[in-house]
Amino acid sequence: MTRLTNVTICRTCGVEFAQPTPPVCPICEDERQFVPSGGQVWTSRDGLEAEGHSVIVKEREPGLFALHVEPRFGIGQTCYLAQTEHGNLLFDVPSFIDAEAIAAIGDLGGVSAIAPSHPHMFGVQLEWSAAFDDAPIYVCSPDSEWLQRRGEAIVSYVDVVEALPGVRLQRVGGHFLGSAIALWTGADGNGVMLSGDSIGPVARDGWVTFMRSFPNYLPLSATVVRRIAASVADLDFDRMYGNFGQQIPEGAHRAVQESAERYAEWVSGVHDDLA
């Protein structure tokens, strides 16, 4: 049976920390996140288990499962387990793990590789790795400085890496310098982008957005947004899943390109006469 560490976790962002902890979580103190008005609060894996937290697993499409922590904790992200014949990718990482979660994911084939899209999604990644034979954790090199707990399972990459045969991780930047997406092939043979919040599907069908900070509403420049769109222009994908459960069921490639140009025009003043 896997022995789980009573790791320290920031209650606001849900990221694991080594001891001793800093006075304030650097990830939350950054302008893209926030420290609560009442100040920094720490918790632990055991503490969350005692509070009744669990990991809920739901199938989103054949071979793709969404994971999220209930009751909602930290940022509240939706993470994904993508199955392949060569093993499974855990993209973005829950901020909690327990024996029941390990068993549920084990029944789906376990975890062969782990990849956070950016530092807000680190979760308790070393605990998930340890639970599945020290599965490698692929962290894009520019975001390595944000790691608050380090271990031998962490693998650094620069721009592109094949986490598993046929599963591509690619840096797109924007939200963080190392913000990355995953490209996976669905059971129907079509490409599927797991976008983190580097490229975020929004309420309107077929639209996405791009932000430096979602909670603090900091935008990106037209230049950066066009660069993000260009970085995925040659990728083959038709569907997209964001890290808060959003989905574009078809036409996702077109949605990214059209939305990027719309966004760039607005932030560069093209439509100032309408504002």
| Residue 1: per-residue pLDDT | 53
**137: which strand partners?**
114, 154
Residue in 92, 129, 97 with CA at minimum distance from that of residue 110: 129
Other residues' Cβ atoms within 10 Å of the Cβ of residue 100: 12
Average pLDDT of the chain? Answer: 97
**How sure is the predictor about 103, in pLDDT bands with cuts at 50, 70 and 90?**
very high
- Are the C-beta atoms of residues 82 and 109 closer than 8 Å to each other? no
Let me know if 196 is exposed, middle or buried by CB neighbors in 10 A (0-12, 13-18, 19+): buried
**How sure is the predictor about 275, in pLDDT bands with cuts at 50, 70 and 90?**
very high
Residue in 64, 54, 40 with CA at minimum distance from that of residue 191: 64
Tens digit of pLDDT for each residue in 110-156? Answer: 999 999 999 999 999 999 999 999 999 999 999 999 999 999 999 99
Whether 267 shows a pLDDT value over 90: the answer reads yes
Tens digit of pLDDT for each residue in 163-203? Answer: 999 999 999 999 999 999 999 999 999 999 999 999 999 99
- Are the C-beta atoms of residues 209 and 259 closer than 8 Å to each other? yes
Q: Could you name the CATH architecture of 8-268?
A: 4-Layer Sandwich (3.60)
**168: which strand partners?**
162, 183
Whether 2 shows a pLDDT value over 80: the answer reads no
Whether 3 shows a pLDDT value over 90: the answer reads no
- Are the C-beta atoms of residues 233 and 226 closer than 8 Å to each other? no
Q: Structure pTM?
A: 0.97
Angle between helices 252-267 and 222-231 (to 10 degrees): 160
Tens digit of pLDDT for each residue in 12-64? Answer: 999 999 999 999 999 999 999 999 999 999 999 999 999 999 999 999 999 99
